[in-house]
Amino acid sequence: MKRGFTILAVLTALLLSFSLYAALVLAPTEQTMGNVQRIFYYHVPSAWVAFQLFLINFVASVIYMIRRSTKADIVALVTAEVGVVFCTVVLITGPIWARPVWGIWWTWDLRLTLTLVLWLIYVSYLVLRRFSSSSQTPLLAAVLAIFGALDVPLVYFSIWFFRTQHPAPVIGGGGSLDPRMGWVLVSNWIAFMALAWLICWTRYQLEVAQRAVHEAEAMQSLMEGAR
Amino acid sequence: MNFLTVTRATLAKDIRLEWRSKDAINAMLFFSLLVVVIFSFAFDPTAEESRRIAGGLVWVAFLFAAIVALNQTWARELRNQVLDAYRVSPAPAIPLFLAKAVGNFIFVAALEALMTPLFIAFYRLRPLGPGWQLIPIAILGTWALVVNGTFFAAMSLRTRAREIMLPLLLFPLSIPALLGMVNSTTAILTGETSPAFWIALLVAYDVVFTTACLLLFETVLEAE
Amino acid sequence: MNANHYLYAAYIMTWAIHGTYLYNLARKAKRVRREIEKLKKPAIARSAPEQKS
Amino acid sequence: MKQFGRFAALRGVTAEFSAGKLYVILGDNGAGKTTLLRTMAGLAHSTRGKITVLGSENIQASRAQIGYMAHPSLLYDEMSGMENLRYFAKLYRIPAGEVDRRCREAILSVKLDPDLERPVGQYSQGMRQRMSLARALVNDPELLLLDEPFSNVDARSAAEMAGLVAHARDRGKTVFVVTHQAAQLELYADEFIWMESGRIVNRTSALQGAKG
């Protein structure tokens, strides 16, 4: 397994650097926004990966509710944590892009606002996991994840309608995408997905090790107490 | 039907205790008054402007009052671990949740009823749109906060920083409901747009989360 | 601050955020590895005064 | 086996207990006494292994027949004893007509005055413990689980409580008592169960039995 990991790591590194090169150089410069539009190739794929991770978190939480399998719980924790990291990237690159183009740091763009709300929900998810002192923390976290997922469509529609009342510039530009830009976007997306997979896998092993160590320590203090 | 008797008994017990001790009521009344006065100092707009921002102010003030009330939901049950007495009994979990949620709703609605005249006075509010629709909006909006609030108050029982945990869990999820309440109120006050969409959103929000709370409350209650 | 600066700022920030997270992961991993070492030593050695690393 | 947070509070507690007996569970702090009692009461859940209470594994089914009393009184301080019991009686599906009679009976059985208006919060510790026992008896349960009924109570109240517990057993109830003051029940108890770090290490019929 170790060998497979390193091969994947090298491949991801290659893919990432190629996609970076493609985004900065190969992709054509957009007429209206100029070079700054290239932020698009990092901003949008990060958002897609974040949403994918949160989707996996929801599925893992439902599985945990049904089967109470620790594996599902750890997957839920890991995807939430890494998802928040990718979400932070989106929330930082968004305003950096909006500033030069529209002269404002924040715009109630549909995707950007949805990412912000999701970020808030999953940060509260991680806070709950850290502060919960009950032995049933995974269960409480799973319940919160399900509530979060139920909230997403409501958030989507409320912001969508909110935006029709307060028109705001759209980040990432809707409309048809020039195919020469399209493949660069997709290659970055794949690179980010591979990166996300690597980070999740490492974080998963770390969590498993951490829980084993805590258990061993607890068992030991119990034994020492008994002697 | 035991379900109803338990709900009624728990609700009656809570109201009687609240009426008897009154400690929470007085604290919250004073807190809400403070919130209204401070908001009025902070924002002193002309009549036209006030109609535009009053919706947001009123609901943020109600949100604060609700949070303070929701934090008290399980205080009495915690004092002598009375919750264990309920959990040991054959009574199902849902009546307890419903009684607590309705109790909170009555409590927060009372606070709102007292704060509203102050807002009207301080901001010289006169709705241009159909004013009567503010009632269903208030009911739907308050229930949206209270049903999730009671649920998350039960969830934060199992955490260390209980008082801060409730808002942390409740606010992100309540964003759609808050948008609904604020925008529908503003729509009616300014009379420019129709609040129909926002009211529909609030109804959807209430239905979705009331169901989720009823289905998942037992899991949270039993999470020893 | 012309447009390119914003572009590079965005790319650098992306890797700064990922970097910070991975750095924290590495630190946590080191701590877990140290705890595993500590657990492996026999009980007597364990109660010897721990030097704070 | 109950995985409790990070450590196993109960490991391999396999034991048979018969009805109509008074068992006293002893052991140092952290031996898992309270965890065992709470698991029997259906308040804590065993992650591995199972508990059969009153013939059924699903604790929910037998909750009507369980009475549970713990150190914090499990009563509302602002309400009088009678008001407390009237509320809890409704949780046990006791028909409205019988509620008052059953509550008065339970309070009298612990030698307290049902018409005492004073809120429980102003009771003495001894009286509060006894009212707490009354609450556990309101549904006339077959199984009585008492967690530290004698804690910080003066000698006279402790002796009185011991008498009440024995009386409950004599009326055919199965009683489990977790306590550090086992001496109170030395004359009445049928069996003493010694627990250590999550395991039953010894079962003796007399208190003097060798410990573990």
State the average pLDDT over residues B93-110.
Answer: 94
pLDDT of residue C1: 58
pLDDT of residue C49: 52
Mean pLDDT estimate for chain B: 90
Name the least confident of A56-70, A71-85, B113-127, D136-150: B113-127
pLDDT over threshold 80, residue A171? no
Which tokens belong to B81?
Answer: 């671990």
pLDDT over threshold 70, residue C15? yes
Stated length of chain C: 53
Pick from B204, B205, B219: which is nearest to A143 by CB?
Answer: B219
pLDDT in tens, B38-96: 888 887 766 677 788 888 888 998 998 899 889 988 988 988 889 999 999 999 999 99
pLDDT in tens, D111-138: 898 888 899 989 988 899 999 999 999 9
pLDDT in tens, A155-164: 999 999 988 8
Give the Å distances, CA to CA, from D65 to B84, D92, D148, D170.
16, 9, 20, 17
Percentage of residues of chain D with pLDDT beyond 90: 24
Which tokens belong to D146?
Answer: 């008492």
If phi over 0 gives left and psi between -120 and 50 gives alpha, with beta otherwise, what is residue D116?
beta
Cβ neighbours of residue A6 under 8 Å, at least 6 residues apart? none
- Work out the pLDDT band at D4, boundaries 50, 70, 90: very low
Cβ-defined contact of A210 to C32 (cutoff 8 Å): yes
Mean pLDDT estimate for chain D: 82
SS3 of residue A184 by DSSP? helix
Stretch 67-96 of chain B: residues touching chain D, C-beta under 8 Å: 76, 79-82, 84-91
* CA closest to A219 among chain C residues: C39
pLDDT in tens, A10-36: 999 999 999 999 888 888 888 777 888
Cβ-defined contact of A202 to C43 (cutoff 8 Å): no
Asked if A224 is an interface residue toward chain D (Cβ–Cβ < 8 A), one would say no
Task: Tell me the C-alpha distance between B58 and C5, whole Å.
Answer: 43
Distance to chain D for B22, nearest Cα, Å: 11
pLDDT of residue A195: 96
SS3 of residue B120 by DSSP? helix
CA B157 and chain centroid, separation: 18
Beta bridge partners of residue D73, listed in sequence order? none
Nearest to C32 by CA among B60, A73, A202: A202
Nearest to B217 by CA among B150, B166, B145: B150
pLDDT of residue A172: 62
Q: Which residues of C touch A85 (CB under 8 A)?
A: 17-18, 21
Distance to chain A for C16, nearest Cα, Å: 9
Which tokens belong to C32?
Answer: 């877990």
Nearest to C17 by CA among A14, A199, A100: A199
State the average pLDDT over residues B135-146.
Answer: 95
Cβ-defined contact of B204 to A139 (cutoff 8 Å): no
Percentage of residues of chain D with pLDDT beyond 70: 86
Cβ neighbours of residue D4 under 8 Å, at least 6 residues apart? A135, D10, D35, D44
Distance to chain A for C52, nearest Cα, Å: 18
pLDDT in tens, D9-50: 566 666 777 788 888 888 888 778 888 888 888 888 776 666
Cβ-defined contact of B183 to A165 (cutoff 8 Å): yes
Residue C16 DSSP symbol: H
Stated length of chain B: 224
Per the structure, the count of domains in chain D is 1
- Work out the pLDDT band at D3, boundaries 50, 70, 90: very low
Q: Which residues of A touch C18 (CB under 8 A)?
A: 85, 89, 195, 199
Pick from A33, A89, A213: which is nearest to C17 by CB?
Answer: A89
Task: Tell me the C-alpha distance between D86 and D134, whole Å.
Answer: 11
pLDDT over threshold 80, residue A224? no
pLDDT of residue B63: 92
Inside any domain, residue D71 = yes
Inside any domain, residue D111 = yes
State the average pLDDT over residues A168-182.
Answer: 71
Cβ-defined contact of D198 to A222 (cutoff 8 Å): yes
Kindly provide the b/e burial profile for residues D19-46, where b requires at least 16 CB atoms within 10 angstroms of the residue's own CB.
eeebbbbbbeebbbbbbbbbbbbbbbbb
The more confidently predicted of residues B114 and C45 is B114
pLDDT in tens, A131-145: 988 788 999 999 999
Inside any domain, residue D131 = yes
Task: Tell me the C-alpha distance between A158 and D171, whole Å.
Answer: 63
pLDDT of residue B29: 85
In this structure, what CATH number is given to the domain that contains residue D165? 3.40.50.300
Cβ-defined contact of D68 to B88 (cutoff 8 Å): yes
Task: Tell me the C-alpha distance between B111 and B134, whole Å.
Answer: 16
The more confidently predicted of residues B1 and A207 is A207
Radius of gyration, CA atoms only, chain D: 17
Domains, chain A, with CATH or none: 2-217 (1.20.120)
pLDDT in tens, D49-92: 667 776 667 777 788 889 999 988 899 999 999 999 999 999 99
DSSP letters, B196-219, are: HHHHHHHHHHHHHHHHHHHHHHHH
pLDDT over threshold 60, residue C50? no
Stated length of chain A: 227
Q: Does chain C touch chain B (at least 3 C-beta pairs within 8 Å)? A: no
Strands (E), chain D: 2-4, 7-10, 22-26, 66-69, 143-147, 174-178, 191-196, 199-204
Q: Which residues of A touch D196 (CB under 8 A)?
A: 226
Query: Which structural domain range is residue D93 located in?
Result: 3-204
pLDDT in tens, A98-120: 888 888 888 888 889 999 999 99
Query: Tokens 């009298």 identify what position?
Result: D108
Size of interface A-B (CB pairs under 8 A): 90
ipTM for this prediction: 0.88
pLDDT of residue C51: 46
Domain ranges within chain B, ordered by starting residue:
3-223
- Work out the pLDDT band at B98, boundaries 50, 70, 90: very high
Inside any domain, residue D51 = yes
User: Is B73:B100 a contact under the CB 8 Å cutoff?
Assistant: yes
Q: Does chain C touch chain D (at least 3 C-beta pairs within 8 Å)? A: no
The more confidently predicted of residues D201 and D69 is D69
User: Is D59:D42 a contact under the CB 8 Å cutoff?
Assistant: yes
